[in-house]
Structure formats: structure tokens, C-alpha cells
Chains A and B, each alone.
Chain A
Amino acid sequence: MKAWSIAVLYSAVLLMLPLAGCASHKAEPPVAQPQAVATQPETPEPVTTPQEPAVSKPTDASPAPSEAAPAGKPATAPAPSGATQATKPATTPAPNGATPAPKAATKTAPPVARTPTPPVRPPTPAAPAVASTAAAPLDLTALKEKLKATKAIGVFTKISLKNQVDDLMKQFSDYYQGKAKTTTMPELRRSYDLLLMKVLSLLQDSDQKLASEVVSSREAIWALLSDPKKFATLQG
């Protein structure tokens, strides 16, 4: 009788072991997260609203036609107020700002002349650039801390990612110092995009909120990297 009961107990233990092993697999409760994702896409909306001041600011545009020639540099001009976001708006509002500009040009060009139209165009992208800096300020240190703290990425993966970030920073540094003659800015942009996609692919399933934060900071970080002066401050 004793031996029988012991045998039953042992068999029960043996049965429980695989059952307990099966019970260990559960990893998917980011239920509340989708709300955070839903809020992030709303952030671009404030970017559209600042376009209204762009209409009101053409008065500032008239004194600045001399600076209109370096079209890429209006983004650096407002740098003191919001250095991080400088180039981001320059790329995003371009389609919005570009479509109204030709309309204005076609309407005004026949009656007046061709000369006034060119100076009108450059200020319009510059104005939203200033306006949208307040929309989403980049907090690099906070983002870095969040990436360090997230449990969505394993320790080894984080170290590996850090290695790749350091490599990319070195590529930028070499590029700005003229050491890397074969590297081009589009190539650096591609490397940056690829690295960001790696981070996002690791985050998107387990930490959607942080993933969307990274996405929203994407252009702002690129603005820091693609400007030699801002990049120098990053490394300093």
C-alpha cells in the first residue's frame, strides 16, 4: 500500500513538471499600449496648425529675400530657439507648403511680374519650421534612459545596439573631419534609418509607447546628426 501511494505521488510529480513548463509561456499583455500609439499619430496634427502663422508671417519674409538663396539654411537659422527640430519641419511641411506656393505664383505671376514670386517661396517653409519647434521638443537623455530601462530589449542586444550607434557616430565624425572620403550623407542617412528600424523592430511588439516616441524623434535626431555644429555638441 505504501509503495503504491508513493508510486502515485511520484507519477503525479512527473506529470506536473511538463505541465508547469507549459504554463511558463505567456508574454503578450500590452493591452493598454495601443492607446499610446493612437496618441502619437496625433502629434503631427499640431504641426499642421502652425501653418496658419506661416500665412501671417510673410511680412518677415520680405526683409529676408537676401537669405533666400541658401534654401537649406533657413533650418539652421532658427537653431538657437529650437536646434533639435530645425530640419525636421523643413522636410515635413515641404509638401504642404509647396502646393500653396505654386498656386500663389500662378495667380500673381500674370498680372505682376516673375521677379516677386521667387522671394515669396523660401520664407514659407522657414516660418513653419520655427513654429513647429515648440510642437515636439527632443529630449535625448530621457529617450536614452527609457531605452536603457526598457525590458523589451535584452541586455546583450542593448550592448550590441550601443556598439552600432557608436560605429555610426564614428562614421559621422570621420565624415565631418574629412577622413572618410567614400562616405556620403545619403549613405549615412541610410545607415541611420537602418539602425532606427532595428531598434523599432525590437521595441514595437513589447514597448509600443517607446517605439512611437522613437519614431516621433526620428527627424529631430537626424537634424542633430546631419548638422556638423550640432553634432559637435553631441560628442562634446
Chain B
Amino acid sequence: MNKLTLVVARSLVVAALFAVPLFADDDEALKKDLTAVIALQGLPCGQVVDVTELAKDDYAATCKDGNKYRVYMNAEGRVVVEKRK
């Protein structure tokens, strides 16, 4: 039982070491992408600090300056940025 606990704990450590950086990278890339999209539309943001996926290709982004936007792709394939309250 003691051995089993040790094995589980070790595997958890290893999993944490590998999984967390991967998720963090993906998240950072998405934030950077959405920051660029919002900036391209000429909207104030600064930097996206939080992202929530609402649906496929549909995100709610919170900016460093407090602005909130919905960034999504419409039926025509255009990226639309809408300000949220």
C-alpha cells in the first residue's frame, strides 16, 4: 500500500511537470493571438489576461485595462470583435 502511494505520488509529480507547461503554453498563445486580433481592430485592450472559450472559434477575452470582448468567427469567415459589458 505504501509502495502504491509512492508510485502514484511520483507519477503525479511527473504528470504535473509535463502537463502544466503544455497547458500554460497553449493558454499564453491564445491570449497573445486574441490580443493581436483586438489590436488589429483598433480597439483598446493592452493585453488579454483571461480567456474563456464560449464555443468553437468563440472566445470571451478580458483585457488588462478592464475591457471585455467577445472574439468569434462569423458565418462568412470573418473574425469579429464585439465589446462586452
B5 engages A156 (CB within 8 Å) = no
What interface size band does chain A fall in? 20 to 34
- Is A24's CB within 8 Å of the partner chain B? yes
- Chain A residues near B33 (CB, 8 Å)? 154-157
- Is A5's CB within 8 Å of the partner chain B? yes
- Chain B residues near A155 (CB, 8 Å)? 33
A13 to B14 CA separation, bound complex (whole angstroms): 9
- Chain B residues near A9 (CB, 8 Å)? 5-6, 9
B34: nearest chain-A partner, CB-CB: A156
Q: In angstroms, how far is the closest chain B Cβ from the Cβ of A167?
A: 10
A24 to B79 CA separation, bound complex (whole angstroms): 29
Per the 8 Å Cβ criterion, residues 30-85 of B in contact with A are 30, 32-34, 36-37, 40-41, 57, 71, 73, 77-79
A155: nearest chain-B partner, CB-CB: B33
- Chain B residues near A156 (CB, 8 Å)? 33-34, 36-37, 57, 71, 73, 79
Binding site for B on A (CB under 8 A): 2, 5-6, 9-10, 12-13, 16-17, 20-21, 23-25, 27, 153-157, 159-161, 163-164, 198, 202
